[in-house]
Structure formats: C-alpha cells, structure tokens
Amino acid sequence: MSKDLRRLTRREQQVAVFVAQGLSDREVAEKLSITRRTAEWHVEQILSKLDLKSRSQIASRVSLAEALGGPLLAADRPRRDLPPKMSAVLGFNPAVNETHELLATTRLLDDAPHESHSKRRERLISLAESGYNPVIVTGAMYALALREVAGQFPATKFAIEDDSSLSADNRNVTSLVFADHEGSYLVGAIAALASRTGTIGFIGGVDLPSIRRFQIGYVAGAKVIKPDIKVLSNFLTQPPDFSGFGDPAKGKVAAARMYQNGADVVFHAAGGSGSGVFQAAKGAGAFAIGVDSDQFLTAPAEVRRHVLTSMLKRVDEAVKEYVKEYVKASARMSQLPRVMTFNLANGGVGYSKSNPEVLPYVATTDDLQRQIVAGKIRVAT
C-alpha cells in the first residue's frame, strides 16, 4: 500500500475502496452498517488526509495503490500477490463465473446497482489514469461512457461485451460479441417441448438490440418445434433506464402476469431481475429459464426445481480469450482483433443440463445445436 493510504484508518481504507468501486455514500453506509452521515464524514476525512478534491481522485489513488501491489482492502475474494500491471474487468461477477485464475492479475468489479452514466465514466477514467491495461467492461450499459473515454486514453486497450459499434471507430477497443440468438434458439426449443399450454414467455431487462437478439432466437427456436406456439414478451425498462437489469420485484410482476395469461415456461434475459421471475415460476407451479450462467446451480433451493435450464453465455471464457490475445499482441507489438465472436461452434454460448427435468429434451436440442454449428440452420438476429 502507498504511504499516503497508510495514513487512513482501517475503516477509512474500506470506505476508500468502496468509493473506488463507484458506490455512493448511501451504498457505502449499507455495506458497512453505518449511517449515511458517518459515511460522508469518512469521505471528508479521506479527502482531507490525502489532500484530494473529488471522489474520482480517491478512486484513482486507490486504483494506483492496487496496481502497484496494494491489497484489495474491501475484497471478499482470495488475496494474492499482485503483479505491477493489472487489467480491470467491470460489471463482472466472479461468484457466477469461472475466471478464478485471473484473480492474480485482474481487478474484478461488480457494477453498482442503478449506476449512473457519470459514475461509469468516472470509474473508467480512474482505472485508465491508474495504469490498468487492458480495461474490460462486460455490459452494454457501459457503451456510452466508453465511447467518451476511449479516445482520451489511446494507449489503454479496452474491450466491451455486447457492443459492436465502438470498435469500428476506436482502434483501442475490441468488441466481445456473443451469438446470444443461437443459445436462445436452443432454450426456445426446450420451452416449446416442455410447454403443455402452447404459450410461453420472454422477459428482457432493458429494451436493447443485444436483448432483442435473445428474444428473436428464443421465438425462432420455439416455432421450429411448434409453429403455432404463442410467445408473450415484455421488456422491463427502456434505455437510458437500466434498472430493468436489477429489479426482482418488477421481474416477478411481469412473469406472474405471463403465467396468469397461460404461459407455463418463461425465459428471462434480465440480469438481477431474473430472481423475481423464478419466484413467480414457483408461485405458478411453472418453469422459468435462466440466462448467462447455470442458474439452476445458483438459485435458492426453494425455487431451484423451477429453473428448467439456462442459456449459457460464457463471459468468463470471453474474458480469458481476450486477455490471451492481449498478451500475444503485446509480445508481437501487433494489433488486437477489433471483434471477437463467441458462438455455439466455439463454446461461447450453449444451454445447461443440470436440472433433471430438461433431460427428456436434450436429444432434440443437441441435434438442433449440431445443425446450427454445421450451418444447416441459420438463426436470424
């Protein structure tokens, strides 16, 4: 830890790290079980002791200390010796991904709930100023902030998941693109096979082109099994409101309405709102389909059997492959790819088989997967 940070008390160090993670005073207070005013006072003390002027400068100072080998003061993940240079991954939840070996070289930061555009921009700037390289953002909600920041730091390499527009105009940005529509096609087929009512549902967290791909693939996969199946659809919020990715109550209400209207399987691409979808599935005695990770394994025990399958999106593999490409490009003094695509063929997307309830549909679904990989089926986007 740098000498100036050692002047802070242990509690002030904790507050400083939470500030660096983009948390507000209210969120810091909740994390530490203190009052908001106490959190504000700690921030004031940090600014005074370090002779800083803003929260952004606190974030830069903490990030620099960590980049130079300081400990992750408020981290609940294993502490390891850190190398002089680190990459940063924003919006990445290691609890539901498998990139544990990257912890020695990577700072993993969950995106704060309902984080504002200014806070996203501030976090990107603080990381780039502190020497993190590369900086990877695993959420399309960071696209606008990265569009503003990438040009300011041409020497920093950035990667962004689910956005293919930024890399076209920024040579230091790589787009990590997933064939979400292919994986969604498979779970759409499962939903149709499992449905007894002839009606299924789709819930998107935010109405974004990337989430529309999930919907399009899901509907196509369902209709290849049952051409006359009815698909109910709902997007919880419209951009720039990204709260649809973190509102379980809203997800539960939307899913409950679908079950009341005859759906017996509902697929969500709604991030944290998906837990509400699972609760609604339990209440209706029906099925839900998870997204990104195998949510049958991580859902609470009381709803687990209602999670029929999940559309797997291997963000962990994408991060690992991008970091490998970064290392190669650095060694060869060459350019990184502008776009990296992760699909069924290379294992970037897929579906889970953990719930025994899905096993009767695996043979049909795996055959569809083989046809997509072979090019016999082309899934529209």
103 with 173, same domain: the answer is yes
The verdict on residue 379 lying in a domain is no
Question: Does this model's pTM top 0.85?
Answer: no
**In whole angstroms, what is the distance from residue 121 CA to residue 151 CA?**
13
1 with 42, same domain: the answer is yes
The verdict on residue 79 lying in a domain is no
- Domain with 23, as residue range(s), is 1-65
131 with 100, same domain: the answer is yes
Tens place of pLDDT per residue across the chain (381 aa):
455 666 777 778 888 888 888 888 888 888 888 888 888 888 988 898 888 888 888 887 776 665 444 433 333 333 333 333 455 665 555 444 444 444 334 555 555 556 678 878 887 887 787 677 888 888 777 888 999 999 999 999 999 988 888 998 899 999 999 999 999 999 999 999 999 999 999 999 999 988 999 999 999 999 999 999 999 999 999 988 889 998 999 999 999 999 999 999 999 999 889 999 999 999 999 999 999 889 999 999 999 999 999 999 988 788 888 888 988 888 888 889 999 999 999 999 999 999 999 999 999 999 999 999 999 999 998
218 with 144, same domain: the answer is no
**What is the count of structural domains for the chain?**
3
The verdict on residue 5 lying in a domain is yes
307 with 324, same domain: the answer is no
The verdict on residue 216 lying in a domain is yes
25 with 106, same domain: the answer is no
218 with 306, same domain: the answer is yes
CATH number of the domain bearing residue 157: 3.40.50.2300
The verdict on residue 72 lying in a domain is no
50 with 198, same domain: the answer is no
270 with 328, same domain: the answer is no
- And the tokens for 275? 């837990």
State how beta strands 307-313 and 339-342 pair.
unpaired
State how beta strands 349-351 and 307-313 pair.
antiparallel
**In whole angstroms, what is the distance from residue 20 CA to residue 120 CA?**
11
Judge residue 206's burial from the number of C-beta atoms within 10 Å of its C-beta, 0-12 exposed, 13-18 middle, 19 or more buried.
buried
* Domain end residue (candidates: 65, 95, 115): 65
Contact (Cβ atoms closer than 8 angstroms) between residue 97 and residue 312: no
190 with 245, same domain: the answer is yes
367 with 270, same domain: the answer is yes
143 with 258, same domain: the answer is no
* Domain end residue (candidates: 65, 94, 112): 65
The verdict on residue 71 lying in a domain is no
CATH number of the domain bearing residue 30: 1.10.10.10
The verdict on residue 75 lying in a domain is no
The verdict on residue 380 lying in a domain is no
